A = this chain, B = another copy of it.
Amino acid sequence: MTETYDPSRTAVLLVDPYNDFLSEGGKTSPRVEPVAKEVGLLDDLRSVVDSARETGVRMVFVPHRRWQPGDYETWGHPNRSQRNIQEGHQLARGSWGGEFHPDFQPWPGEDVAAEHWGSSGFANTDLDFQLKQHGITHVAVVGLLAETCVEATARFAMELGYHATLVRDATAALSPERMHAAHELTGPTYAHAIVTTAELVTAFKDVRP
C-alpha cells in the first residue's frame, strides 16, 4: 500500500454510525453483527476516528435520512430499501436507534453532512460542498453498510473527482458474501485504494509533520 494522505486534504467519511446498525438492540444490528464481529468493526472504527483526530485528518459524519412520519408516502417510486424503512421505521428521528452510537459523536467544528435519502452520502446533500470548503481531495469511507451506503458514497466520491479509499475492516455488510463482493468484486473497479484499518492508521501517521 503506497497511498499517502496529506492531512490538510484528507477526510474520513463516517457513514451512518447509528445505534440501529451498531448497538445491541438496534433494529438492523442483528443482521450486521456477524460480519461486524468477524472484522472487529467497533474497535476499527474507533481506531480510524482516533487516528484522524490525532493527525489532523478531517472527520465528516455522513448520516442517512432519519425516518419521520410522512417520509416516502407521496413518492412516485421509492425503492425497496426506502419501502423497508417506510414500513420498519429504521433510523427513526427522535428515537435511540436514530442517534449516533455513543462512541461516534461529532466534535465541535467537525462537519455533519445533510442527510441522504438514497445510499450515497453525496447525492442530494451538501457533502461535496463541505469538503470543498475545507480543501479536501482524498476521502476514506468507513461505517455502514459496506454494500450500500459505504459503496455508494465511495463510488460517488470517485465520480466527483475525489481520491477514494475503502477500509476492509472498518465496515460491515449484511452477509459475508456481500462483504466479499464489496471489497473483491466491485471495489477494485472504482476505488483508488482498499486498505485495512492498520494500514490506514499507519498511513495517516506517516505524513504527520
Contact = CB atoms under 8 A, between A and B. Distances in A.
Contacts of A75: 133-134
Interface residues of A, number: 57
Nearest to A178: B185
Interface stretch (A27-35, A116-124, A199-207): A116-124
B135 A129 contact: no
A155 interface: yes
Interface stretch (A18-26, A36-44, A86-94, A146-154): A146-154
Contacts of A109: 70, 73-74
Interface string A131-143: 1111101100000
A161 interface: yes
A76 B164 CA distance: 12
Given A181-B186, A189-B119, A108 B70 contact: yes
B161 A120 contact: no
A28 B70 CA distance: 33
A137 to B, nearest CB: 6
A45 interface: no
23 contacts: A70-B108, A70-B109, A75-B133, A76-B137, A81-B190, A114-B115, A114-B126, A117-B126, A118-B190, A119-B155, A120-B159, A123-B129, A128-B160, A128-B161, A129-B161, A130-B161, A131-B161, A132-B137, A132-B160, A135-B137, A152-B159, A181-B185, A181-B186
Counting from the closest, the 8 A-B pairs by CB-CB distance are: A132-B161, A123-B159, A124-B126, A181-B181, A77-B163, A75-B133, A118-B159, A129-B161
